[in-house]
Structure 1
């Protein structure tokens, strides 16, 4: 029965991660219900993330939405950051970190409404490779050791620094997450922090979710993604803050 729950958690998480982010906030608690310690759940969760993003990247690439050349460049700093993040023990208080992330997500949701055209229309921007390298390296570190919510930060950077609309942003985002998660997963696997049976069930659901999410993103376009993103940012931002305050 619990494995059925893991499958559907993977499906919903895959859909959510591709169009916005925050899917790991669903899968991690469900994996905990199986009795997996948080470190094992964290490593196992990466299997679902890999498969949902393989599916989504293939779909975006097939529909000529993915800017592969730029995505390949941005994958370098984000992957290096993820390797660092997966290897380090974070010294910052976890409750404080969750509060900070929650506040940032809510601020992002306000900006989403205040400047809607930035998110829904592709813009020509002068790309600063050094700034992008630093920003995506830092986001990679966060993704390497936490993962949950990293999609929101990637989307913000891709819109503000790279000038993509939300559809192309999602295409590049899932490619970046796929590449750096492969390396992060290898570290978790090496340290025997993966439950492969649970990961397989999660992957099956995640493949379906990734396909549905990428199809929705391509079909509905930036405005629908913007609406969903706004709601998710508010909900997860508040969740992070209350979760931190109650510990």
Structure 2
């Protein structure tokens, strides 16, 4: 299959923006999926190809947050248990639930996040010095991570918003450390789904790797921004991205 070189350049730039958005918020796939389909990829292949960029951006983000000492490595296992358990169930649900349920579910999730940020900003952005809870100490957080896993296994787009609600709202991580753990969860989801898409030959490697160049660059720059930005700045960036994600979901 031949690809328009100009569109491949635009794909890289789109990946740059998406990588930035995904690292600090979520919903970047609402930009990259339409771009991949514009190249002529069918929706299922575009979905698989998109995971190449998501996986490599996640690897860059996790390494970056760990380098700056913002990744709580001791909590990773306890956080991944409910998220990956939910992810397995979500994949099964995706096989039986009609596609018409996807957009209302995505919009409802994002709008709820926007409402929480406006009405209870301290929930999603805990004040400095707030003690972090363990997953074993909060049933609500465990349930939130499990629901995030179900949603991530089901549709993935916008799962970052649910993970941030569970990690910041439930476990009381500040938004930078919550984003670091969110990227660990996303990387774990994507590792599994990427293997599935490879098995079913639903990945086109040229556009996937070109997209990944952009997403990795965007993620790298986003981590540097997150480390230097204030909690309040990250919070309002997250709010702005919920609105962008709503608009993208409505049009695509």
The aligned length equals: 243
Instruction: Give, in whole Å, the separation in 2 of the partners of 1:88 and 1:196.
Output: 28
Task: State the SS of the aligned residue for 1:140.
Answer: helix
Q: CA deviation at 1:26?
A: 0.5
How do 1:229-240 and structure 2 match up within 5 A?
229-240=238-249
Q: CA deviation at 1:104?
A: 2.9
**Which of the numbers 23, 36, 46 marks the counterpart of 1:18?**
23
Indicate whether 1:37 and 2:42 are aligned. Answer: yes
Instruction: Give, in whole Å, the separation in 1 of the partners of 2:36 and 2:104.
Output: 23
How do 1:82-101 and structure 2 match up within 5 A?
82-86=87-91, 89-101=94-106
**Which of the numbers 176, 194, 210 marks the counterpart of 2:203?**
194
Q: CA deviation at 1:181?
A: 1.0
How do 1:64-213 and structure 2 match up within 5 A?
64-86=69-91, 89-118=94-123, 119-122=125-128, 123-124=130-131, 126-129=133-136, 131-213=140-222
Q: Which runs of 5+ in 2 are unaligned?
A: 1-5
Instruction: Give, in whole Å, the separation in 1 of the partners of 2:71 and 2:94.
Output: 34
**Length-normalised TM-score, structure 2:** 0.88
**Length-normalised TM-score, structure 1:** 0.90
Residue deviations 1:128-174 (CA, integer Å, cap 9, x gap) = 53554443233123222422101001001101111111111111111
Q: CA deviation at 1:117?
A: 2.5
The structure-2 alpha-carbon separation of the partners of 1:137 and 1:145, relative to structure 1 and needing over 3 Å to count, comes to same
Q: Which shows bigger deviation, 105-114 or 168-177?
A: 105-114
Q: CA deviation at 1:15?
A: 0.4
**Which of the numbers 48, 53, 58 marks the counterpart of 1:53?**
58
Task: State the SS of the aligned residue for 1:81.
Answer: helix
The answer on whether the counterparts of 2:94 and 2:155 sit within 8 Å (CA) in structure 1 is no
Q: CA deviation at 1:238?
A: 4.6
Task: State the SS of the aligned residue for 1:61.
Answer: helix
Residue deviations 1:11-50 (CA, integer Å, cap 9, x gap) = 1110000011110001100110111111111111111011
Residue deviations 1:166-203 (CA, integer Å, cap 9, x gap) = 11111111111112211111111111111111111111
Instruction: Give, in whole Å, the separation in 1 of the partners of 2:215 and 2:133.
Output: 36
* Map of 2:3 onto structure 1: none
* Map of 1:4 onto structure 2: 9
Q: Which shows bigger deviation, 218-227 or 86-95?
A: 86-95
Residue deviations 1:65-123 (CA, integer Å, cap 9, x gap) = 11111123212332333344446544334333312321332222121122223314252
Instruction: Give, in whole Å, the separation in 1 of the partners of 2:62 and 2:149.
Output: 18
